[in-house]
């Protein structure tokens, strides 16, 4: 392995870890291993409450970040119907409840079909999107008004994989860059004449990198620590 020339390390991000925290941890491990500083970056943020594939690029491979970010992604998610939160996930408490008795499995399947293809999506206020140079989530946490414009996204596949009505469904989504599954949950709730938010999210694939081929953070730590240290060839 040549981390300075560049490697892509695929990690199954643990629950509650930020993508930045994952980068910082691996950068520190590699710095200790190499005995010198090294560039490390991630190819696509994953929310703290989500798990799954995060690609870390080292050294010269950081030049591939844009290429890897553009890859198709796959997610599995669990939605709670009939309730919303400000962040559209479990980061915040429920702020409103809605009826669900009218929702049928057929209605869910029909609603999901509406989201396939190229669609416009308004990102969550609690997101890394920028408004006049300021991160939206920082503004939202201060209680400031956050107005984000719709963005064109692409959903290649969306399917219902579990249905526990009246208040819970599971979905699988294959999508392009810039898709917020939290915002998709919000929009599915609206399409059903109710509300919804995420209770679980897992990124299962980025391009050809699948979650079953990823290392856990513990495995990655032990792997890096077990590698032979590079020989100092300077004279």
Decide: helix, strand or coil at residue 15.
coil
Q: ∠ CA 57-17-163 to the nearest 5 degrees?
A: 105
Distance between CA atoms of residues 67 and 54, nearest Å: 14
Radius of gyration of the chain measured on its C-alpha atoms: 20
Catalytic residue among 12, 47, 89, 187, which?
47
Q: How far is the C-alpha of 154 from the C-alpha of 118, rounded, in Å?
A: 4
Whether 232 sits among the annotated catalytic residues: the reply is no
E runs forming strands in the chain: 8-13, 40-42, 51-58, 73-81, 83-84, 96-97, 117-121, 130-131, 134-135, 151-164, 168-175, 196-206, 209-210, 215-216
Residues designated as active site: 47
């Amino acid at each position: 392995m040549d981390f300075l020339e560049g490697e892509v390390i695929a990690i199954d991000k643990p629950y509650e870890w930020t993508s930045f925290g994952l980068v910082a941890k691996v950068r520190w491990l590699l710095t200790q291993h190499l005995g010198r500083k090294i560039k490390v970056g991630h190819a696509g943020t994953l929310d703290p409450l989500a798990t799954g594939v995060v690609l870390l690029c080292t050294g010269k491979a950081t030049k591939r970040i844009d290429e890897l970010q553009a890859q198709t992604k796959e997610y599995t998610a669990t939605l709670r119907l009939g309730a919303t939160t400000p962040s559209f996930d479990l980061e915040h408490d429920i702020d409103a409840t809605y009826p669900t008795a009218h929702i049928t499995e057929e209605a869910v399947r029909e609603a999901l079909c509406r989201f396939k293809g190229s669609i416009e999506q308004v990102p969550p206020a609690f997101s890394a999107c920028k408004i006049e140079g300021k991160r939206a989530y920082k503004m939202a946490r201060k209680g400031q008004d956050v107005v984000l414009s719709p963005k064109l996204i692409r959903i290649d596949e969306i399917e219902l994989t579990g249905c526990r009505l009246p208040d819970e469904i599971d979905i699988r989504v294959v999508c392009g860059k810039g898709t917020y599954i939290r915002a998709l949950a919000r929009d599915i709730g609206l399409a059903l004449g109710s509300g919804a938010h995420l209770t679980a999210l897992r990124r299962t694939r980025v391009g050809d990198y699948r979650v079953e081929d990823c290392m856990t953070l513990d495995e990655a730590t032990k792997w890096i620590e077990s590698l032979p240290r590079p020989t100092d060839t300077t004279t």
